[in-house]
């Protein structure tokens, strides 16, 4: 069974060109290249999804650099995990440390992933500590409570036939706040 080298390339705007990326991917032997013109901040990247569907164990996904593949460290780790779960490899031409086809590359990527997880855990820990400290100082962190009169008005509008969206807009509250209150009201009503 032969393994396939898949290339993935992306540019953020229609004005940008993929020529340089395509040339580099062809030079390293990519047999099939997926490309799209979409901003990296969007998670919806249909060509990346198609590439992931085609992957088989032993195949390799190659990118010219990590900014073409992922929006953030978290996004990179999620995509890398999807690739690894297929038994495939990931390689970046610019970031030579990312090459899971080698033991060295796998080790470095594992360290990188561990450090990213460590950072996320530290941020969560500091956030919890900050909330506790704020409460001890008599502060109530988070969003301020919604004016009960606005909620009453929105519920009245819903009772009069307005949609949740219309009622929320007219009352000046978020749709989710109104959805939660409507749900709470329905749970209180005996059946």
Q: Is 92 considered catalytic here?
A: no
pLDDT, one tens digit per residue, over 77-135 is: 888 888 988 999 999 999 888 888 888 888 887 887 787 778 888 888 999 999 899 89
Considering the domain architecture, whether residues 9 and 91 belong to the same structural domain is answered as yes
Domain assignment present for residue 96? The answer is: yes
Structural domain span for residue 45? 5-100
Q: Of 54, 49, 61, whose CA–CA distance to 100 is shortest?
A: 61
pLDDT, one tens digit per residue, over 11-66 is: 876 657 788 899 999 999 999 999 988 765 656 789 999 999 999 999 999 999 88
Q: Which of 67, 100, 133 is the last residue of a domain?
A: 100
Helix (H) or strand (E) segment spanning residue 69 = helix 66-69
Active-site residue identified among 2, 12, 57, 72: 12
Residue 14 has what pLDDT?
62
Domain assignment present for residue 62? The answer is: yes
Sign of the torsion formed by the C-alpha atoms of 45, 71, 74 and 106: positive
pLDDT, one tens digit per residue, over 17-30 is: 788 899 999 999 99
């Amino acid at each position: 069974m032969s393994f396939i080298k898949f290339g993935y390339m992306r540019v953020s705007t229609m004005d940008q060109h993929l020529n340089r990326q395509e040339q580099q991917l062809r030079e390293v032997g990519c047999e099939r290249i997926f490309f799209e013109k979409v901003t990296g901040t969007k998670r919806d990247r249909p060509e990346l999804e198609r590439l992931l569907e085609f992957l088989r164990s032993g195949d390799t996904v190659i990118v010219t650099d990590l900014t073409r593949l992922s929006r953030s460290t978290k996004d990179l780790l999620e995509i890398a995990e999807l690739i690894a779960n297929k038994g495939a490899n990931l390689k970046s031409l610019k970031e030579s440390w990312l090459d899971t086809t080698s033991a060295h590359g796998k080790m470095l990527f594992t360290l990188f992933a561990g450090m990213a997880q460590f950072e996320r855990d530290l941020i969560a820990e500091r956030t919890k500590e900050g909330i506790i400290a704020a409460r001890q100082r008599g502060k109530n962190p988070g969003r301020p409570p919604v004016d009960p009169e606005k909620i009453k008005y929105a519920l009245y509008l819903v009772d009069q036939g307005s949609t949740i969206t219309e009622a929320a807009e007219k009352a000046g509250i978020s749709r989710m706040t109104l959805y939660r209150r409507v749900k709470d009201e329905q749970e209180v009503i005996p059946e």
